[in-house]
């Protein structure tokens, strides 16, 4: 059952936030859904947005400014939370921002205490599309995926592992090679254990070498991003795409940082990228 938590008119459409019980994550999850005006929501294309570390569904729906263009394009926007929450949900013992609540990393955890609830990969790839289609009546046959930072990592792996489900893909400042950077190593060690073969199944730079897609990937990266050199390393994914023959446009935007000011500046390009691919 989907409970409407909030509902606001926005550019002629409706921005809702839902709550529902997730069988995959064994608890309540929240979900932002923007329904554009003057179109059949059962046939409109859907763009799924995955947010980054510390975020909830609120960051994208309140800061990205995506609804204006979505209203023009007749595109539904869906923004899930970044991790399970609520009573009984494990969190990092030191309340670190990069592990536990707000840091699900879009994997299915196999290690204790995370394994029961931290199943964000299956939630996004399996349960959520079913909810969108069967409960909300949305068109999951025309669906793209995008995201920021940790969510950019999520968008890339979701597409590469499910190209028939998420037919278009883009990302802002994604963690493209989590096996090779501190954020990813910390999360994967905790959620997946020491076996790096399991890690590779959630690493876009490793995946594209085996699972290149027919889509054209769009990535925007701020040139003044404080995390660029240590955590993001887009050149690693660029090199892997070139070797694999994967179509990629990587744009380094001079002077832009890691914030939603950066996302808001280029979100229109990304929505139009998805609209074109899903037409």
**Bridge-partner residues for 77, per DSSP?**
34, 47
Taking a C-beta distance cutoff of 8 angstroms, is the pair 69, 268 a contact? Answer: yes
Q: Closest by alpha carbon to 146, among 3, 6, 278?
A: 278
Examine the residue annotation and report whether 149 is marked as an active-site residue of this protein.
yes
Catalytic one among 148, 258, 270, 274? 258
Q: CB within 8 A of 142, min separation 6: which ones? A: 44, 45, 46, 167, 278
Q: Residue 153 corresponds to which tokens in the numbers above? A: 């990592």
Alpha-carbon distances, residue 67 vs 54, 168, 210 (angstroms):
22, 19, 35
Q: Are 191 and 240 in contact (CB under 8 A)?
A: no
Name which of 109, 110, 27, 41 is nearest 70 in CA terms. Answer: 41
- Determine the Cα–Cα distance for residues 32 and 35; give it in Å rounded to an integer: 10
CB atoms within 10 A of CB 30: 18
CA distances from 128 to 73, 133, 181, 243, 246 (A): 23, 9, 29, 33, 27
Out of 81, 98, 108, 225, which one is annotated catalytic? 225
- Quote the CA–CA distance of 255 and 225 in Å, as a whole number: 8
Q: 3-class SS at 229?
A: helix
Closest CA to 264 of 13, 63, 67, 32: 63
Q: Which of 51, 149, 170, 213 is catalytic?
A: 149
**Residue carrying structure tokens 């007749």:** 74
Positions marked catalytic:
149, 225, 258
């Amino acid at each position: 059952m989907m409970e409407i938590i909030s509902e606001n008119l926005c550019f002629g459409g409706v921005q809702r936030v839902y709550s529902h019980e997730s069988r995959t994550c064994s608890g309540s999850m929240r979900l932002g859904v923007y329904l554009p005006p003057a179109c059949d929501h059962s046939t409109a294309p859907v763009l799924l947005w995955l947010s980054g570390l510390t975020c909830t569904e609120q960051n994208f729906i309140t800061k990205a400014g995506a609804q204006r263009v979505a209203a023009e394009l007749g595109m539904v926007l869906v923004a899930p939370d970044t991790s399970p929450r609520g009573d009984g949900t494990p969190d990092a013992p030191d309340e670190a921002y990069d592990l536990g609540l707000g840091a699900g990393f879009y994997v299915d955890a196999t290690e204790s205490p995370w394994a029961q609830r931290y199943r964000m990969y299956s939630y996004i790839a399996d349960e959520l599309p079913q909810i969108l289609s069967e409960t909300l009546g949305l068109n999951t046959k025309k669906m793209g995926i995008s995201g920021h930072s940790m969510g950019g990592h999520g968008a890339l792996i979701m597409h590469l592992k499910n190209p028939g489900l998420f037919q278009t893909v883009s990302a802002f400042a994604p963690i493209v090679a989590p096996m090779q950077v501190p954020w990813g190593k910390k999360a994967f060690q905790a959620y997946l254990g020491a076996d790096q073969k399991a890690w590779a199944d959630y690493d876009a730079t490793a995946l594209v070498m085996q699972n290149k897609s027919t889509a054209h990937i769009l990535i925007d990266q701020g040139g003044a991003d404080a995390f660029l050199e240590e955590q993001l390393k887009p050149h690693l994914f660029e090199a892997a795409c070139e070797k694999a023959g994967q179509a990629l446009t990587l744009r380094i935007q001079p002077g832009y940082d890691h914030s939603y000011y950066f996302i808001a500046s280029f979100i229109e390009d990304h929505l139009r990228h998805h609209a074109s691919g899903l037409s």
